[in-house]
Structure 1
Amino acid sequence: MDQKVDLSAPHAMGTTIIGVTYNGGVVLGADSRTSTGVYVANRASDKITQLTDNVYVCRSGSAADSQVVSDYVRYFLHQHTIQLGQPATVKVAANLVRLLSYNNKNFLETGLIVGGWDKYEGGQIFGVPLGGTIVQQPFAIGGSGSSYLYGFFDQAWKEGMTKDEAEDLVKKAVSLAIARDGASGGGGPNSHNKLRRSGPGNFYPGDQLPLWHEEMEAHNSLLDILGAPEPMSM
């Protein structure tokens, strides 16, 4: 039976997104695969979007929906900063995301995680799942790969982690989701470390991620896996 692939379908991110608080800030992580059904439209997309200098959002669901919500929130936060003369708090940014998601819940198919740092509350993580609910949590996971991670986080997450411990936890969790969830993958997780001021992101290619049960090591081509000789160059 022939399987037809609709390449004109909206791009949806079969996704793993994660936000974790630690003792001094937050770590956000995501895989980098954007898919349209069974077709991988982009294997190196960035699902962590900057809203302000101190707040970022992890995007899952429809890529178009999550991008337009991020763009609107970024614009409103910029106006907010100009009017007040100081950066918006993480809670204000998260509530703007919640407001747009809830008021347009019949049209949007996106779940988001807002994370950042401000001088009032320190590092904070807010989950805004499909429908526009807002929940403040010490850690949040979302996307199709999250169903494989709840038990892992219940066991591995602990309060008062250092930045290195939190980043290592996010790296392990994203690699585990990539191993189990066919809709998550790509080049590896994009981890962004935030401490007071937004820091540069770290990219982990697939061959630098830990392997899990029955996973094969990364190869350059199918010929490497089969052990076949390279074809002669013409």
Structure 2
Amino acid sequence: METELGLKPGEIGLGTTLVAVGFDGGVIIGADSRTSMGGAYVVNRVTDKLTYVSDRIYCCRSGSAADTQAVANLVTYYLQLYAIQHGEEPPVRVAAALFQELCYKNKEMLSAGIICAGWDKYAGGSVYGIPIGGSLHKLPYATAGSGSTYLYGYLDTAFRPNMTKEETIELVKTAIALAIGRDGSSGGCIRLAVITEDGVERHFIPGDQVPVLGI
């Protein structure tokens, strides 16, 4: 028997809310921090779901924690090889293509949904969605995980091209707070990362400071 996430009972899963939004100068990614087991028990309420894969490229993971971490580790390894072979940091599209290939070729065995986002000198800030099944989509913004179903209307309405950094931080924070208010698998604190040419800037909103929205 499997849970609604396609996991076997007792398997650690990431019922979650993930959001990535491009802005004028880079991208901002964010996630809640709740990890559950078997869809019923919270085993970690402060998980960091913003995963480093290169100096200016991160991924957000949903599905099986084990599957997504294994895929992220492989992509990180290949991007390190790319940097050595080419003498420069890899473009975001290369990282996204690696995620897509691994997820698609192993789609019968993996429960892995990925958002890959970052900055490179060729395309600036980029956001790619790789949902479970292994398709690849370049998007102005992306959301994934169990909480994403509550956010599409809000993001469609609130997103504007060329938003400022501060506006985009507020957009991502509000989106995750809205999902936490509605989705039982999302919760804990909010973690954000601002990725630009200057590097990665991390933000942390503790659980007692998360806005109470959508109640």
Question: TM-score, with normalisation over the residues of structure 2?
Answer: 0.94
**TM-superposed deviation, 1:210:** 1.6
Of 93, 96, 100, the residue aligned with 1:94 is 96
Q: Given residue 107 of structure 1, which amino acid in structure 2 is its aligned partner?
A: M
Q: Deviations over 1:187-218 (max 9, x none)?
A: x211000111332311101221222244xxxx
SS in 2 for 1:159: coil
RMSD: 1.2
Structure 1 unaligned residues grouped into runs of 5+: 1-6, 215-234
Given that residues 25 and 196 in structure 1 are in contact (C-alpha distance below 8 angstroms), is that contact kept between their aligned partners in structure 2?
A: yes
Indicate the structure (1 or 2) with the bigger Cα radius of gyration. Answer: 1
**Secondary structure at 1:191's aligned position in 2?**
strand
Q: 2:78 aligns with which of 67, 72, 76?
A: 76
SS at match of 1:35: strand
**Residue aligning to 2:187:** 185
Selected match of 1:154 from 144, 153, 156:
156
Q: Deviations over 1:61-87 (max 9, x none)?
A: 110000000000000110111011111
Structure 1 CA distance for aligned equivalents of residues 175 and 214 of structure 2: 14
Q: Runs in 1 of length 4+ with deviation above 6 angstroms?
A: none
Quick check: which one's strand share is greater? 2
2:207 is aligned to 206
Contact 2:182-2:214 at 8 Å conserved across structures: no
Question: How much identity, in percent, do the aligned residues show?
Answer: 47
Give a deviation string over 1:16-44, Cα, whole Å, max 9, x none.
Answer: 00100000000000000000121001001
| Corresponding pairs, count | 207
Q: Which consecutive residues of structure 2, in runs of 5 or more, have no partner in the other structure?
A: 1-7
Alignment partners' CA distance in 1, 2:14 and 2:172: 19
Partner of 2:23: 22
Residue of structure 2 equivalent to 1:31: 32
